[in-house]
Amino acid sequence: MPSSMMPSLTITGLDAMLQKLGAMKLDQAGRVFNTPVSRAFLRGGLHLEGKVKEGTRVRTGRLRSSYATRQTKPLRVEVGTNTVYAPFVGSKGRPTGFTGAGEAHIAEVIKKEKGRVRDIVQQGIREMMES
């Protein structure tokens, strides 16, 4: 999945929601995954994954198909790839002709889509506060 060097998006200002999550029943691992907010985080990650894939140019399709979303905590979703060359495609080394895949591409997608991801998460917060 994503390396620690990959670009990231952090959503802040969730204190009231975190307090409500703390009062909810936890599963065996101490995580709350089945809440409107955690599902919204996953939907936001899947949205980013789709946008990254849309802009990833394809030679063999391996890189594009390797992008995946995983929810590691109720309020943490990672979008990334396990291909070791992904950070370098189109950004370092010899010109590849495939510039829509490296770290710069992911950072561009995050910058462009952060408002939409924020809207998705805020909708989950509203759903949770109403329940």
One pLDDT digit (tens) per residue for the chain, 131 residues: 444 455 666 666 666 665 665 555 444 444 566 778 888 999 999 999 999 898 887 788 888 898 899 888 878 888 888 888 877 675 444 455 444 556 777 888 888 999 999 999 889 888 877 76
Can you give the pLDDT at residue 119? Answer: 93
Contact 7, 103 (CB under 8 A): yes
Can you give the pLDDT at residue 47? Answer: 96
Can you give the pLDDT at residue 27? Answer: 47
pTM for this model (two decimals): 0.73
Can you give the pLDDT at residue 22? Answer: 57
Can you give the pLDDT at residue 115? Answer: 92
Domain chopping of the chain, boundaries: 15-130
